[in-house]
Structure 1
Amino acid sequence: MYIIFKFNIRKQSVRATQTAGIPKERVEEISPTEWYDKWWAANLATDPVGASRKPPVLRSPNGAMKDFGGFWAVGKPTYDPAAIRAPTMLVVGEWDALTPPAMAQEIFKRLSGVKQRRLVLLSEGSHSIGTEKNRMHLIREIQNFLEEPTQ
């Protein structure tokens, strides 16, 4: 399969996106720059082409953005939550500016075919909570959900 990389994202742009929603005075506490720099370096290590650009960029396949622009942004979802039958957990950070809690609540309401469903709102977390101070809250919630017996 051939992937077209349409989005070339620079370090500062990604940082702004990752910290969107976090109160400005708490960004360094919640998402330390040192951690971000390590995350950035690890991502660049997976893509020598993006890393060799001046300045280096993270390249992103355009499929997800194409779906967003062509479907989600115009009110045509690519799936129907009511058609989902598997146990489902939605997790969102309270400061998620990209997919805010209200979006998760709306999807949760539409999971009408799921017997075992859960909506988890994590305090002091953004869309990038997996790389933030409170990431262990996310990891524990996921682990607990996966270890529960299905009904």
Structure 2
Amino acid sequence: MSNHTFNKSISIVSEKFNIASDTPGIELSVLNKRPASMTVFSNEKTILMVHGATYPIGSLYDVELDGFTFLDYLASHDYDVYAVDVRGYGGSTRPPEMDQPADQDPPLVRTETGIRDFGSAIDFVLNHRNLSKVNVLGMSWGGTVAGAYTSLNNNKVNKLTLIAPQWLSNKPIPIDTGGSLGSYRLVPAGTTKERWLSAAPEGKRDSLLPDGWFEKWVEATLASDPNSKTVHPEHIRATNGPILDIREYWTVGKAFYEPKDITVPVLLIHAEWDIDVPLDLAQNFFTSLTGAAYRRWVEIGEGTHMVLLEKNRVQAFQAVQSFLDENYTPAGQ
């Protein structure tokens, strides 16, 4: 068995925590997966992940495809892996406005709230395992959350992995479909396949998602929102704060944070057919990381913005694992 495949023989323990946020009444759901045999915990072997603007951790990082999830993969390679749902997503508390019609309140959960929730989860993991730093990973909007957090807290971050992070755009960004923004939006998981695959060239669409993978993803996505069976069948709620931030920052030439303030090692993962974060955006972001201890870009062919759930997903997993496995001692230590 090579060092870069999923090791089925390793027993993985899964644990869920509900932790306090910085807001009374709002709890955050943190999922942990680790090898059952793990007894020693370290900065280098611990990672905390955060999701994007639409789908929670259970829909992005913990969908079992081919017998294992992204979290399982990392845990099978001796990582103590955590993933947090920001408030309003997955297993975390939904702000009370999310039980009202969306047009009654302004967009919920802006990026600064995501960063605060991520910070609460990092502090929880550091205290829980008695560590001084963790590795962090974010995808898409989560890349902004993780990147901005790191830019302000390099002392708590070992290494930073960003998958298709947001950056400045002079073109419309597909997730923003225009119009007025309510507090949240309803996302019809089961009918998103066409948009997902439309990013790929026509002749390649049929092979992007192996048989049954999309259906498994839909099931996991709908399971993340208790209202998807009753109040709004077949839809999940996603907060609109991240969309408002696209309008007030990314598409008007305002960076939400300064990538040059990140001083830890950075891995950027991007896929060839990503229309949400096109190649030139990723390149402009990468070249802005001038303060990083070192930085690397891995480009995955034949993948979209959702590459973590597609046929080439293990290439992304391997890139993350290789980056985290490398010995790194900060200068002066």
Bigger Cα displacement from structure 2, 69-78 vs 130-139 = 69-78
Aligned-residue CA RMSD (Å) = 1.9
After superposition, the C-alpha distances for 1:60-119 in whole angstroms (9 at most, x for unaligned) are 122211211221111111111111111111110011111012111111111110121011
Identity of aligned residues (%): 31
Specify the SS of the correspondent of 1:58: strand
Distance apart, 1:7 and its partner CA: 1.3
Matches within 5 A, 1:102-113: 102-113=280-291
User: Which residue, out of 254, 257, 266, partners 1:88?
Assistant: 266
- Aligned residue number for residue 241 of structure 2: 63
Distance between the aligned counterparts of 1:138 and 1:52, measured in 2? 36
1:150 alignment partner, SS class = coil
* Rounded Cα–Cα distance in structure 2 between residues aligned with 1:107 and 1:79: 11
Larger C-alpha radius of gyration, 1 or 2? 2
TM-score by length of 2: 0.43
Structure 1 residue matching 2:215: 3-state secondary structure: helix
Q: How many residues align?
A: 151
Does 2:319 align with 1:146?
Answer: no
Query: Secondary structure of 1:22's match?
Result: coil
For the residues of structure 1 that align with 2:202 and 2:223, how far apart are their CA atoms? 29
Q: Which amino acid aligns with 1:93?
A: A
Please name the residue that 1:9 is paired with: 187
| Contact 2:272 2:303 (8 Å CA) reproduced | yes
1:19 deviates by 2.1
Give the residue type in structure 2 aligned to 1:150.
Answer: Y
For 1:4-43, list aligned pairs within 5 A: 4=108, 6-11=184-189, 13-32=191-210, 34-43=212-221
Aligned amino acid, residue 105 of structure 1: Q
Question: Aligned partners of 1:88, 1:10: CA distance in 2, in Å?
Answer: 34
| Larger proportion of helix | 1
1:129 corresponding residue in structure 2: 307
Distance (whole Å) between structure 2 residues aligned to residue 23 and residue 46 of structure 1: 31
Partner of 1:120: 298
Match of 1:146, SS state, is helix
Query: Which secondary structure state, in structure 2, belongs to the residue aligned with residue 19 of structure 1?
Result: helix
> Of the two structures, which has the highest relative contact order with CA contacts closer than 8 Å and spacing of 6 or more?
1
Secondary structure of the 2:212 match is helix
Question: Which amino acid in 2 is paired with 1:135?
Answer: R
Unaligned runs of at least 5 residues, structure 1: none
Is the partner of 2:217 in helix, strand or coil?
Answer: helix
Q: Is the 8 A contact 1:19 1:128 kept in 2?
A: no
Aligned counterparts of 1:62 and 1:13: Cα–Cα separation in 2: 20
1:101, 1:121 within 8 Å by CA — same for their partners in 2? no
Shift of 1:53: 4.2
C-alpha distance in 2 between matches for 1:31 and 1:59: 24
Distance 1:70 1:104 in 2: 20
**Consecutive unaligned residues in structure 2, runs of 5 or more:** 1-25, 27-94, 99-107, 109-182
Question: What's the CA shift for 1:13?
Answer: 4.9
Q: Is the 8 A contact 2:274 2:305 kept in 1?
A: yes
Contact 2:270-2:300 at 8 Å conserved across structures: yes
Q: Which amino acid aligns with 2:212?
A: E
Question: Which range is displaced more, 96-105 or 20-29?
Answer: 20-29
